[in-house]
Each structure stands twice: as structure tokens, then as C-alpha cells.
Amino acid sequence: MSGAHIRSRLWCLPSTPLRNELQAGKTASGVWNTLPGTALVRTIASTPGISWVVIDAEHGQLNDTNIYEHATAIASQGISPIVRIPVDDAWWIKPVVRASKYPPIGIRGFGPVKSHDDCLCRLARLANVEEIDGLDVLFRILSAAHKFGKKAAIYFTSGELARTRAAQGFDMVVVTDVDVLSQAISTHVNEARKP
């Protein structure tokens, strides 16, 4: 697979904890992955209570090989891998959504491995959601997402802040790997240094 092809997909497996939680009306918890390493991401994906991991192809320290390997490692744990593409413009996202949907909405061809539109989860961070038919999730825009029948997602640096946003109605909440690792290491080191 070429790097452009990998980045053009926002993957969400058809029967995963993420899809099940969203269909049940529950808040789905996830982790934002920015650091390379399949052992790291596999450990993250095996954490109880999470149903999805975003692979950050924009701000993360990840190349095309990492993206492919991370998606595979995450999926191997039964968790939904989602790839964040480095574009938030509607003019660019429209063709990505069309390429991920079957006719009549999209232009995706039949493949023997995945044969249903619900195998992919399309998400974006846009102000004008009405411009994009077929989008499933919006980041950071709660009222617009729900107004147009989409799910709303948001990320934070702590579980406490994510819980607050879930209570406000966000469907998907996420914490970042860098912040969680830093906080956890700091907590344990400080505990170890106590007299």
C-alpha cells in the first residue's frame, strides 16, 4: 500500500467495541497515538476500557510505515484503529469520503476483504459539516455534529477532563499517549521518591 493510500483511509472495523458502544449510545473512550512503536501501541490497545486508538498522521512522530504497522497492531487487539489525516479542509476531505463509500454515495470499488460501507468510520474536524455527506464523526464540534446526525469526539490531556466532556454529550473521548505516559511516570517516580 502506498503512503497516500494509507493516509486516505479512516479505518473503523465493522464489529468492534467502538462501533458497538456508539450504536448502544454509550461514550466510547480512546487514546490518541503520537509516538512510534508497535509494542507501545499494542500495549495501549490492550488497555481495558478503550475501544479505539487514533494514529496521528499529522502531528505524531509517525511515518507511513508506522501508520500501517500501528493500524495492524491496534486491530490485532480487537480495537478500532483510526488514522488522522493531515488535512481539515472540506475540499480535500470530500474525495476521501467518496473514495471510502460505495455507490451511489461514493466511488469505492468492491473488494473481497471488506464489502460493506460500515467497515470504515469517516471523521473530521470541520466547521461546515453540512458540506460533507457520508461523514460519521466530527472532532470538537458537539452541537453541529449532533444537529446533522453525526457523532462528536474530543481529546484531552487527562481522564478527568475527558469525563467532563462525556457528561456534556460527546460520544467519543480520548486522552493522548504522551500526556498519559508523562503523568503516569511522574506519579510513580514521585511515589518512589517519598521518604
- Higher local confidence (pLDDT), 63 or 118: 63
Q: What is the pLDDT of residues 46-90, one digit of tens each?
A: 999 999 999 988 888 998 899 889 989 998 998 988 888 776 666
β-sheet with 137-139: strand ranges across: 80-84, 52-56, 28-33, 172-176, 151-156, 137-139, 123-124
Q: Which structural domains are found in the chain, ordered by start? A: 3-192 (3.20.20.60)
- CA distances from residue 50 to 101, 120, 188 in whole angstroms, order as listed: 26, 18, 22
| Separation CA 120–CA 41 (nearest Å) | 20
Q: Give Cβ neighbours of residue 10 (< 8 Å, ≥ 6 apart).
A: 82, 83, 84, 85, 96, 100, 120, 121, 122, 123
pLDDT class for 108, splitting at 50, 70, 90?
A: low
Indicate if the pLDDT at residue 35 is higher than 60: yes
Q: How many residues does the chain have?
A: 195
What value does the mean pLDDT of the chain take?
79
Pick from 11-15, 153-157, 169-173, 178-182: least confident: 11-15
For residue 87, give the C-alpha cell. 488535512
pLDDT class for 172, splitting at 50, 70, 90?
A: very high
8 A C-beta contact, residue 53 and residue 74:
yes
Q: What is the pTM of this model?
A: 0.76
